[in-house]
Structure 1
Amino acid sequence: MNTSEIIIAGDTAGIEWRLPVLRFKGSDPKAPKVYIQAALHANELPGTALVHFLCERLRQSESAGQIKSDIIVIPHANPIGAAQSHFGELQGRFDLGSRTNFNREFPLISVKDRDGLLEDLERRSAIDKLKRQLLHMALGCDLVIDLHCDDESLQYAYIDEAFWPEAADLASAMEMEAVLLSDGESSAFEEAVGFAWKYETPEKRSRLPGKLSVTVELRGRRDVYPEMAMKDAEGLWKFLASRGAIDAAVSLPAFDGPAVPLDNVEIVRAPEAGTVLFHHNIGEWVGEGGVLATLITRPGMADGSVEIRAPQAGLIVTRNSERLVRRRADLMKIACKTASKATRKPGTLED
């Protein structure tokens, strides 16, 4: 394993950020090149824990001469966000300087313009430098895995329809409980990678065989435990072996979980501000009209609560960990068999 650092100059005097990069050299130039990053949202740490154990497993494979692919691993992809603490709480999702989600506004380019990402970097902001260097590394690879987590959630993934159903092997290896099929219409990291591949030729490609760019949601933010991380690391290692990145025989069962388009995801929101009393946990199936939660809007008053019901039947994939919420706060995501009646703009489900 080779280690290096990318140094990113800060936007004020005397500040710089260091981004560790771990590389494993493969023995087969024809094997798919791999890029794995964790904690682009700096306060989402299940991926960093996974990567720690995955690298241990990869070093063992390296010692056994099993590494066929060039593999790049970024254990914590956002040193800028990791330094953002407000009143003692890490603020890792949004850049406090620009108020932009760290996983949005990646450049949408064709692969042929990849080297242009690093031109005139000294003129750009620190966060733009970071995003461009991450994207530049990823676009030199074939399999790109961005490790995130949700609030309270099942193990699931956002996978562009261009990679499905080929990517069912990843869902199987990681024992995902659901897959949300995205439309590739945002500037999030994994979709910016897919965009570049689709527009590698003059005509946009709808299928990308042999490629994969995916956001893996490793349960919830508090699900950072050694047993979970080691299990997830082993699952990702098996996926890499199944794709020929590691010379090892693995057998993966068929993925049998739900795989639904984003249009089929019901986002349940709070109609008013109040205290949330959930009636169902993640992983439970709910029927249409079933009570999902009680919202106490005026404590102590006879008419001081509101029942929130399921717009249709489905699987509860995520849940808000906060119990005091504002009006229109996201409470749950439910994966359903049919499309939601709510209108949805192309792109991500939330900011």
Structure 2
Amino acid sequence: MERTEIIISGDTAGIEWRAPVFRFKGSDATAPSVYMQAALHANELPGVAVAHFLLEKLRAAEAAGTIRGDITVIPQANPIGLAQSHFGEMEGRFDLGTRTNFNRDFPLVALAERETLIADLDRRSAVDRLKRTLLHTALGHDLVLDLHCDDESLQYAYIDDAFWPEAADLAAALDMQAVFLSDGESTAFEEAVGHAFKHQGEEKLKTVPGRLSVTVELRGRRDVYAGMAARDADGLWAFLAGRGIVADPALTARAYTGPAVPLDNIEMVKAPTPGTILFHRDIGETVRAGDILATLITRPGEADGTITVAARHDGLIATRSSARYARRGDDLMKIAGHEATRRDRKPGTLED
């Protein structure tokens, strides 16, 4: 194993950030290579725990000589966000200096333009340097996994149509309860990688066999437990074995049996008015159109001081807000349905 560091100097004097990078050299030059990173949103820590347990397994595999493909793991990919707290709370998702989402504004380049990402790097801001370095590193691999989590959530993933259904092996290995088939049109990390993989010539490829770029949502932000992380590390190990990146003949592939839902089929349940949230339904439950999802206490103590929020479509509750007070327009739930929930959704991510 080779351990190096990404070192990002600050935009003011006397500051720098370091992100450890762990690399394992494979024994078979024809085997796929894989890149994994966790905590690009620095306050999303389930992936950090999973990477920790996976790296234990990879060190043992290296000692046993069973690593066939090159593997790169960055278990805490955003030291800038990790250092940013506001009133005692780690922000993690948005850079306090620019108010930009750490998982947006990645450059969209063709795969052949990979080296342009790090040209004149010293002239760029610290956050831009970090983003470009991570993307440049990832594009040197065949398979790219970006480990995130949601708020309160099932285990699911965002996977571009170009990589589905080939990526069903990852969904099965991690026992995902849903897959969201994304449009590949935003500047999020996973979609920037997918953009490069699909632009390897003059025409945009509709499918890219042997490649993968995926955002894995490892349940909710509070789902950071040793047993859970170890099981997910076992799932990633099974995926690596199935793709021939590590050797483990004892493992047998499983089939993915959950739903694969286009983003147009995701109902974003929003608070129509401010209020204290009383949820009636939980993640993992299947609901029908008209079912009451939550009550909002809009005017406490008043006889008519509540309103109800109902499902507009049948589907599976995939995520739920951990907040118990909503501002007008706040997201309350994501429901994965069987039909398009709206026709005017713009391609790209569901949330900022």
Residue by residue, what CA displacement relative to the aligned partner does 1:308-327 show, whole Å, maximum 9, x if unpaired?
00001100000000001100
Partners in 1 of 2:148 and 2:197 — Cα distance?
22
Alignment-derived partner of residue 5 in structure 1:
5
Alignment-derived partner of residue 126 in structure 1:
126
Counterpart of 1:88, as a letter, is G
Alignment-derived partner of residue 347 in structure 1:
348
Residue by residue, what CA displacement relative to the aligned partner does 1:289-321 show, whole Å, maximum 9, x if unpaired?
000000110011111100100001100000000
Give the match's secondary structure for 2:20.
Answer: strand
Residues 1:170 and 2:175 are matched in the alignment: no
> What does residue range 58-97 of structure 1 map to in structure 2 within 5 Å?
58-97=58-97
Residues 1:272 and 2:273 are matched in the alignment: yes
Residues 251-260 or 121-130, more deviating: 251-260
Give how far 1:7 is off: 1.1
> What is the TM-score normalised by the length of structure 2?
0.99
> What does residue range 156-167 of structure 1 map to in structure 2 within 5 Å?
156-167=156-167
Alignment-derived partner of residue 54 in structure 1:
54
Give the match's secondary structure for 1:295.
Answer: strand
> What does residue range 1-351 of structure 1 map to in structure 2 within 5 Å?
1-249=1-249, 250-341=251-342, 343-351=344-352
Give how far 1:252 is off: 2.0
Give the match's secondary structure for 1:239.
Answer: helix
Residue by residue, what CA displacement relative to the aligned partner does 1:8-48 show, whole Å, maximum 9, x if unpaired?
11000000111110000100111111100000000000000
Give the match's secondary structure for 2:190.
Answer: helix
Counterpart of 1:269, as a letter, is K
Residue by residue, what CA displacement relative to the aligned partner does 1:231-281 show, whole Å, maximum 9, x if unpaired?
000000000010010011221221010110000000000000000000000
Partners in 2 of 1:179 and 1:3 — Cα distance?
33
Give the match's secondary structure for 1:236.
Answer: helix
Root-mean-square deviation (CA, aligned residues, Å) is 0.7
Partners in 2 of 1:240 and 1:187 — Cα distance?
27
Give how far 1:342 is off: 5.9
Partners in 1 of 2:199 and 2:239 — Cα distance?
27
Give the match's secondary structure for 1:133.
Answer: helix
Counterpart of 2:18, as a letter, is R
Give how far 1:200 is off: 1.2
Stretches of structure 1 lacking an aligned partner (at least 5 in a row) = none
Counterpart of 1:30, as a letter, is T
Give the match's secondary structure for 2:241.
Answer: helix
Give the match's secondary structure for 2:193.
Answer: helix
Partners in 2 of 1:350 and 1:91 — Cα distance?
16
Stretches of structure 2 lacking an aligned partner (at least 5 in a row) = none
Partners in 2 of 1:205 and 1:318 — Cα distance?
32
Residues 43-52 or 25-34, more deviating: 25-34
Counterpart of 1:261, as a letter, is P
Partners in 2 of 1:91 and 1:236 — Cα distance?
28
Percent identity over paired residues? 67
Residue by residue, what CA displacement relative to the aligned partner does 1:167-195 show, whole Å, maximum 9, x if unpaired?
00000000000000001010000100010
Counterpart of 1:94, as a letter, is F
Partners in 2 of 1:342 and 1:280 — Cα distance?
26
> What is the TM-score normalised by the length of structure 1?
0.99
Give the match's secondary structure for 1:322.
Answer: coil
Give the match's secondary structure for 1:4.
Answer: strand
Residue by residue, what CA displacement relative to the aligned partner does 1:196-232 show, whole Å, maximum 9, x if unpaired?
1111110000001010000000000000000000000
Partners in 1 of 2:22 and 2:154 — Cα distance?
29
Give the match's secondary structure for 1:7.
Answer: strand
**Moved beyond 3 Å, runs of 4+:** none
